[in-house]
Structure 1
Amino acid sequence: MGSISMDSRQAIDRVVRLMAIPGKSCEETQILAAISQDLQHAGVPAAAMSFDTAHRRSPAGGATGNLIVKLPGTVRGPRRLLMAHVDTVPICVGSRPRQQGRKIRSADPRTGLGGDNRAGVAVVLTAALEVLQRGLPHPPLTLFFPVQEEIGLYGARFVSANKLGKPALCFNWDGGEPYMICLGATGDYGVDIRIAGIPAHAGVHPEQGVSAIAIASRAINELVENGWHGLIVKGKNRGASNVGIIAGGDATNVVTPLVELKAEIRSHDPLFRKKIVAAYQKAFENAARAIKTDNGRTGRVEFQADLKYESFRISPNEPVAQAAEAAISAAGLTPETCISNGGLDANWMNAHGFPTVTLGCGQHAIHTADEWLDVDAFLAACQVGVKIASGE
């Protein structure tokens, strides 16, 4: 690992303290206050920090918007943005981080650790504080702490982009290893399906009804049989889909009149993703037409597909990718690139026109009570962060 003068003990203490602060999605006020306080103690003026109104545009609401911090450069160069989402999943509320050797876990076995993504927050903070406190030369910097990543990337989606200072190179810390550079991620549609059947007494006159459950079952079976559910491979095209939620029915003696389903559809290829959406709609409409009452009446389907986030792919030759690779190499690591099949805040950052790569910081078993943080990987990520922030 490349040598760099960095206070490792302070970095570890910082991530432990941050992981203990509750802040599930929509309830991030306390963690953002702690971040602001750390920056103010390092001499960042309150005027350099602002909150946007992303929570007012988010369908989830929420207590606060994103925190954005803009720092003037001491040397000329394109503005760099360092970011990490601040919210955690609910299982992490009540985390009691404890270091055991080179790992950090929650001392409460019922909770997750919160390394996703307080480790990322600690990397961004450590990078900024090291640069400021040691007086390292650095280009103009933006620190971006988005909310509501875990429930739909809403902070990054609804950010007030004009507040970010037009950064040219953007670096997002989230899950993974510190030597990984994520250059792309899939796109995702959220699908809501409402099936209206026709109620009837299931024992006396079942032929007078149309079961919404039967329509749903027939449609899902068609999707599975034709290869449109689960892993989807059609020639060179790949994607994935899943019906994840089904709700309906109140009694066994009533032909079910209403079923509501939620599904997701993913692919790196926007056109193929739309083909999957079309296959879903066709399957449910076919099923609704196929099941009839004794006098030919049918149920109906309401189908809604909304883009949750668009896919992106950055060339390894892009300046942001080259800068990440240089920083990782300077920290003594061997950089590797990858493409994610999940969504990242980087999806929306790239959609807003800000070239963004995602780097890791050593979290493992995220979103579970077994979550742990690799201390050495976290410290390596902090080293990479300092290199990026200082523009080395």
Structure 2
Amino acid sequence: MAPAKITPAKVSFKDLSSSGTGPQPNLSRATELVLALMEIPGASGGEQQVADYIRRRLRRAGGNLKLLESDQAHQRTRLKGQIGNLVFRVKGNARSPRRMLVAHMDTVPICLNAQPLLKGNRIASKDPRGGLGADDRAGVAVLLNTAIEILEKKLPSPPLTFLWSVQEEVGLQGVRHAALRMLHKPQLAFNFDGGSPEKLTIGATGGYRMQIKITGLASHAGGAPEKGVSAIAIAGLAIADLQQRGWHGQIIKGRQRGTSNIGFIHGGTATNVVADSVELKVEARSYSGSFRNKIVDQIKASFLRAAKEVVSEHGDTGSVVFTGQTDYESFRLLQSEPCVKVAKSAVRAVGGEPVPFFSAGGLDANWLTARGIPTVTLGCGQLHQHTCREQLDLPWFHEACKIALYLATAQS
């Protein structure tokens, strides 16, 4: 997919970072929004109710719904969903490059039917067996609160795009298939996801997902095991080989770094039958695309060698078939990238100190950057994401709301 050609923005937020002045967000409303959003069910592919809530709140704030639309990304993703990415545009009244704020609407399944409980400076799940969904309903609330603030107070701003994406948690599918024309060529892009708002994620690993199917030869395990070819034995030999040679788990080869994981295995029918079929699901990650490809090659080589080592008395061997795809490409933004410089200024404007960070997981920023929109990611207070211990740190969340409003309204 060829990246869109976008001229780098020439911007300076010196006035913003030095003065520390500017419009202040309604933090009580922001808290109310995030609590309401976390209660709405919306796992990957099921984001319709979240989008409906956003639409209602924008309409109540006086938003022009002709500038609110959704694309058809959900019809092109692996997981056919209810709705595509939701895009809201503000025409703006200041001469400045268009800016885009991004957050994803979906949560992981453990967060369905979340019961958020506000206690002091934290929001946690009332149900100890369920998740919270702050990842990324906190980001959704940051964007929504910012848009409402601008609409209700009629704040001056440059042209703005608010992108609420779908299916981030299943391989960044929403932004991968987003209709770029609907974004109107933003030149500065800021994604709000997990962690501290002072953490600026300027790079992330790339991921490859693979399915492996091993076909052996069934036979009676008690009466004639020598006539069979065990698909499970092939899988076991291959996995052991990868582990022994350092190509499974954390991978360090000289200066190259990466990871691989065999996370799913299923096969066999009964203990008295030599297993003739095994299926595995595997992933490989690295900040280097070429090294990630090498990890994939090593995985394939181990399974192909193992298939030759398990032989029946008649010389039969098993076969291995691989299918896979790149979930997302790795990226690394320079410190001089305009969106990075602007994000640093905004963090300092609210009294924070920006900390560059590289993520071991994928973000919407991976595909946005790959498609020609360099995107820096800021946290908005989520802790222990994807677990029942997930929490939202309210001071961090409120800080993210302040940063977002600065990014959306500060004059360059």
Q: TM over 0.5, yes or no?
A: yes
From 309, 315, 322, the equivalent of 1:290 is 309
Q: Does residue 347 of structure 2 align to residue 328 of structure 1?
A: yes
- Which position in structure 2 is the counterpart of 1:192? 211
Q: Does the residue aligned with 1:222 lie in a helix, a strand or coil?
A: helix
Alignment correspondent of 1:110: 129
Cα pair 1:210 1:292 within 8 Å, conserved? yes
Task: Report the equivalent of 1:253.
Answer: 272
Aligned residue runs from structure 1 range 242-281, under 5 A: 242-281=261-300
- Select which of 27, 46, 64 maps to 1:45: 64
Deviations 1:132-184 (A, max 9, x none): 22222211000000111111211111111111101111110000101110001
Q: Which amino acid aligns with 1:154?
A: Q
Tell me the secondary structure at the aligned position of residue 84 of structure 1: strand
Q: Distance in 1 between matches of 2:239 and 2:116?
A: 43
Shift of 1:35: 0.5
TM-score w.r.t. the length of structure 2 is: 0.93
Structure 2 partner of 1:15: 34
Q: Cα distance, 1:107 vs. partner? A: 2.0
Matched, 1:342 2:380: no
Q: Among residues 21, 25, 47, which one is paired with 2:44 in the alignment?
A: 25
1:101-120 Cα shifts (integer Å, max 9, x gaps):
11111223332111111000
Find 2:232's aligned residue among 208, 213, 217.
Answer: 213
What residue ranges of structure 1 are gaps of 5+ in the alignment? none
Residue 238 of structure 1 aligns with which residue?
257
The equivalent of 1:306 in structure 2 is 325
Question: Partners of 1:106 and 1:277 in 2: how far apart?
Answer: 39
Q: Distance in 2 between matches of 1:186 and 1:214?
A: 32
Kept in 2, the 8 Å contact 1:211–1:257? The answer is: yes
Aligned to 2:336: 317
CA distance in 1, matches of 2:267, 2:381: 42
Question: Which secondary structure state, in structure 2, belongs to the residue aligned with residue 260 of structure 1?
Answer: strand
- The CA deviation at 1:7 is 1.6
| Residue 362 in structure 1 maps to residue 381 in structure 2 | yes
Indicate yes or no: 2:83 matched with 1:83. Answer: no
Cα distance, 1:129 vs. partner? 1.7
The alignment partner of 2:56 has SS state of helix
Q: Secondary structure at the match of 1:150?
A: helix
C-alpha displacement of 1:14 = 1.2
Deviations, residues 256-312 of structure 1 (Å, cap 9, x unaligned): 000000000000101111111110111000000111011211110001231110000
RMSD over equivalenced CA pairs, Å: 1.2
1:176 matched to which residue of 2? Answer: 195
Deviation readout 1:314-335 (Å, 9 max, x if unpaired): 0011100001001111111111
Q: Does 1:62 align with 2:84?
A: no
Q: 1:153 aligns with which of 172, 178, 195?
A: 172
TM-score computed with the length of structure 1 as normaliser = 0.98
- Give 1:380's aligned residue: 399
Structure 1 contact 277–305 (Cα < 8 Å) conserved: no
CA–CA separation in structure 2 for the residues paired with 1:59 and 1:305: 13
Cα distance in structure 2, aligned partners of 1:5 and 1:124:
14
- Residue 117 of structure 2 corresponds to 98
Distance in structure 1 (CA, Å) of the matches to 2:80 and 2:51? 17
- Across the two proteins, how many residue pairs are aligned to each other? 392
Tell me the SS of whatever aligns to 1:339.
strand
Q: Distance in 1 between matches of 2:252 and 2:372?
A: 31
The Cα of 1:365 is off from its aligned counterpart by 1.4
8 Å Cα contact 1:66-1:144 kept in structure 2: yes
Q: CA deviation at 1:131?
A: 2.2
**Corresponding position of 1:122:** 141
Which of these residues, 130, 133, 148, is aligned with residue 152 of structure 2? Answer: 133
